[in-house]
Amino acid sequence: MKLSTLKQKLLIWLRWSQKYTKTDMVYVARGGFWLIVDKVGLSAISFLTMMAFAHWVSKEGYGTYQFAVSGLSLLAIFGLPGITTSVIKSIAQKKEGTLRLALKEKMKWGTIGSIISFGIAGYYFFQGSNLLAMSFLMVALFVPFKQGFYVYTSFWNGRKRFDLRTKYQIASAGLAALFLISAIYLTENILIIIAVFLAAHTFFDWLFYKKTVKQAANDEKDESAISFGKHLTLMNALQTATIYLDRIIVWHFLGAVPVAIYSFAKQPIDKIRDAFPIISLSLPKLGERKIDQARKKGIIAKFFKLFAVTVPAALLLALIAKPVYGLLLGTYKDSVPYFQVLCATIAISPFLLLIAGLTAEMKKRALYFVNTGAPLVKIILFLVLCPFFGLWGVIAAILIAEIIRGAMALYFFWKM
């Protein structure tokens, strides 16, 4: 069968299926394919990096690396990651000058994180921990860039050019990983490994930002995207913080080795959840026009249908975890039970569709409740449960907070 004939048959089938899914299946297939390639590609790169750490770096060394990188990611909140989301709608509305405006604002605010990182470096220096002092000194130099140049992905999302977004992002991450894995193989010196990680990611994100900004068709700016992006950053700050704060809390109460064991359970879960392109795929489509009552019912229906994908996926991952870890990550078999329980967070991923709906409608009040209430509960539970129950306390905190977040998203979306 000719490729053109096969493509025509596939298009006919996708259009026919729209009667039942109530979704633009041609858009989902085209955009979803590239977004899935993007997420799977990035997950594969991350997994190869993890394998390098598992084979060539001690658990204590990897725990220290994760502590420093988590600190960087926390401080990068000052780089206004919410703008990366809000800019998508502006680009979709042909206001492409917003990209340069976004970078300028993100870099300006990111310097606050740098100042704080310099302060943390000074604290560890006076505490006599030169390794951590030097780590945060390097982090301070790169904080503004952590979120800054990455904004180029929003441009291609807004244009619905998921193919270019995927190619650029995988190329950037892959080239950076090549340098990082080389450093891991050549040395166990954590400072060198951290320096290579920071420099490589910054350079390649900058390179693809420069390639992207040249494609802007106009200089029209959307100031409201910057304002709303700041609100998104503020309302998501606690949610973002809890993604990385857990490792810092584990480091404080349990030490470097438990950080490594926990990271090898949690990091794959985070990457797999990202592989479900629910927000990336739905936000440009939801942002095209207002969500009225009829459209809201359709979104709720799609929300329930998504569980038919995420629940079996979570169960399958839990079942194959033990042999996969045993074969590829043998030194981290202790991470398997934690990974299996965390698979529950993959099962409840459809709630992200409702959060995307609230974001598209700029429901600030609802988003503040959803994105600050549940993370605040999570942080409190981290601090209460970790000292008494160790890593299982951290796992319990994550599950409880995710359920609360999902329930709140459903409530506010239904009331919208």
Helix, strand, coil % (nearest 5) of the chain? 90, 0, 10
Q: pLDDT tens across 303-353, in order?
A: 888 898 889 999 999 999 999 998 888 789 999 999 999 999 999 988 888
Point out the least confidently predicted range of 14-18, 30-34, 36-40, 322-326: 14-18
Mean pLDDT, residues 214-218 taken together: 89
For residue 12, the model assigns a pLDDT of: 59
Residue 350 in 3-state DSSP? Answer: coil
* Residue for token pair 């929300």: 303
CB atoms within 10 A of CB 297: 11
Q: How far is CA 138 from CA 160, 186, 219, 250, 259, in A?
A: 36, 20, 35, 22, 21
CB atoms within 10 A of CB 95: 22
More confident residue, 205 or 294: 205
How do the domains of the chain map onto residue ranges?
Answer: 23-415
Point out the least confidently predicted range of 209-223, 254-268, 271-285, 326-340: 271-285
Mean pLDDT of all residues in the chain?
85
Q: Would you mind telling me the total number of residues written for the chain in this entry?
A: 416
DSSP-derived secondary structure letter, 93: T
Tokens standing for 289? 């026009």
Tokens standing for 252? 């404080």
Is pTM, for the whole model, over 0.95? Answer: no
Task: Report the C-alpha gap between 225 and 84 in whole angstroms.
Answer: 9
Residue 161 backbone phi and psi in degrees, to 5: -95, 70
Instruction: Provide the residue type at 84 as one letter.
Output: T
Is the pLDDT reported for residue 34 higher than 90?
Answer: no
CA 187 to chain centre: 28
Alpha-carbon radius of gyration of the chain = 21
